[in-house]
Chain A
């Protein structure tokens, strides 16, 4: 079974500096700069078409930047003759030949980087593609199985840097839990882990650092906690038979209490603790007292609202 964080030296830093990519009149990435440090799972967020995939491809030297630079550990990736031991990547689970088995696919990649065949069995076991499944042709795999194969490919060279583009797509709930645990473990081992997604909810329980982009430009680069604080302030929901009177008391404390229905108030400006104290002092009967924390999803939507490329008819 995979070991628990063996001591290893810290993974290198990913540096993106004034990175720009234009396709004719379209600018996919515009003067984007950010840094990804080792030891964390860094979420790379943005709406569809924000430029996440293009940025990751430029990091891997697959797409040449129009301007700026994207380096890993101070070097452009194409400087390496072989890549798997330096950076492991899952860009698109479908970037495989459907006619080969998972085993044959990994075997060829391993061979090209002089990685022993035994390592192929290890990563297949790690991602849960064992026995007959690994010998079946990839063309018949579900998206979830292809994601597992993509993750196995990324792990093949035991690299200090890992890039994952939308790795949770198509995974079942058990798979999502497993992947989150894997990412956290890889980060805890000192590796640099960058995971892209267009869904904030996916990042909520996965990443501890965030890079948010929209329309190819940087919107935010900070910790998940700081990012959450950008959203709406926490709201206290309080339910009491005498809502009107409690609202008056709260208003005298400087809080804003909005009647939700006859018995319920939504309170901002004071914490649940203070609401409870005031209710006790004034002899109110409380039937509910809960705090709704700022939703990351809400913060994300608010922040990226101006940079969403494809809006559906009735949203906003």
Chain B
């Protein structure tokens, strides 16, 4: 032991935030997951823009007249959104499940018996990091795709109606998905099961739930992926090529879906670990 007694300062919530930030930062897997998925998401979007750039001369006049819709679709494609969801949900889940599967959670809770504070700090750090990641990926995708389309004078600026909403909705999809991953990790506590169920809930359910009946349409509209889809479809309900939805949803409704999923996931994460044995 030291010959000088340690001072006894009061540990604050900011100390827990700093500790969780250190935890995230000290794992190589964090850098790999964020780095690789950033490149893949931007590449997928850039490739969609490249395809439009190449094919544009073959488009008919109606398609050319409505090309702004394509330009905004390329800014963040469905495929890119799915990769973003998968990455964010995995990183969110791993911050919780990684502690349970290794046993580190016992060391953590022995060091900080206030479990709710630990999980709140974890959720806050994950939300911040994933929001920055989402913003970087969404902004870079927008810039790259519109730069490619500018080659034909088709690129849009961020001030184009709906463009900012595409970027913001795509950026926020990352923290929402990450929080859902965390909550499922806190409830399930097993790596593989958490990943399968999080993927099922966030990616598969939107595909399998039909919009045919009112109640299924309500479920559909309440899913994060569909909410994102609503937010990025700038001419929703006025599209020239597709049928309109039988039970349409609103932009406000879609933002609310994002908010509710984030808040509920955060609460589940904090409450789920409080009483159970570790």
Is A101 interfacial (CB 8 A cutoff)?
yes
Q: In the complex, which residues of chain A have a beta carbon less than 8 angstroms from the beta carbon of B215?
A: none
Is B103 interfacial (CB 8 A cutoff)?
yes
Given contacts A85-B8, A111-B19, A112-B16, contact A96 B102 (CB under 8 A): yes
Q: In the complex, which residues of chain B have a beta carbon less than 8 angstroms from the beta carbon of A100?
A: 23, 26-27
CB distance from B197 to the nearest CB of A (A): 23
Contact of B6 among A83, A107, A109, A115 (CB under 8 A): A115
Is A99 interfacial (CB 8 A cutoff)?
yes
Q: In the complex, which residues of chain A have a beta carbon less than 8 angstroms from the beta carbon of B98?
A: 97
Is A89 interfacial (CB 8 A cutoff)?
yes
Is A95 interfacial (CB 8 A cutoff)?
yes
Residues of B126-163 whose CB lies within 8 A of A: none
Contact of B112 among A83, A91, A186 (CB under 8 A): A83
Name the residue of chain B whose CB is nearest to the CB of A60: B110
Q: In the complex, which residues of chain A have a beta carbon less than 8 angstroms from the beta carbon of B62?
A: none
In angstroms, Cα B10 to Cα A60, docked, is 20
Is A260 interfacial (CB 8 A cutoff)?
no
Q: In the complex, which residues of chain B have a beta carbon less than 8 angstroms from the beta carbon of A189?
A: 1
CB distance from A5 to the nearest CB of B (A): 9
Q: In the complex, which residues of chain A have a beta carbon less than 8 angstroms from the beta carbon of B5?
A: 6, 8, 158
Q: In the complex, which residues of chain A have a beta carbon less than 8 angstroms from the beta carbon of B22?
A: 104, 107-108, 111
Contact of A80 among B20, B106, B113, B278 (CB under 8 A): B113
Contact A157 B6 (CB under 8 A): yes
Contact of A62 among B9, B102, B109, B118 (CB under 8 A): B109
Contact B23 A99 (CB under 8 A): no
Q: In the complex, which residues of chain B have a beta carbon less than 8 angstroms from the beta carbon of A62?
A: 106, 109-110, 277-278
Contact of A82 among B11, B27, B28, B103 (CB under 8 A): B11
Count of chain B residues near A, Cβ 8 A: 41
**Which of B26, B111, B275: most chain A CB closer than 10 A?**
B111
Contact B19 A109 (CB under 8 A): yes
Residues of B1-39 whose CB lies within 8 A of A: 1-3, 5-6, 8-12, 15-16, 18-20, 22-23, 26-29
Is B259 interfacial (CB 8 A cutoff)?
no
Q: In the complex, which residues of chain A have a beta carbon less than 8 angstroms from the beta carbon of B16?
A: 112
Is A304 interfacial (CB 8 A cutoff)?
no
Q: Mark A57-83, 1 if CB is under 8 A from B, else 0.
A: 100111110000000000001111111
Residues of B92-138 whose CB lies within 8 A of A: 98-99, 102-114, 117-118
Residues of A83-120 whose CB lies within 8 A of B: 83-85, 87, 89, 91-92, 94-101, 104, 107-109, 111-116, 119
Q: List 18 A-B contacts (CB under 8 A).
A: A2-B2, A6-B1, A8-B5, A57-B278, A60-B106, A62-B278, A81-B113, A83-B111, A95-B103, A95-B104, A96-B103, A99-B28, A108-B19, A111-B15, A111-B18, A112-B118, A113-B112, A119-B2
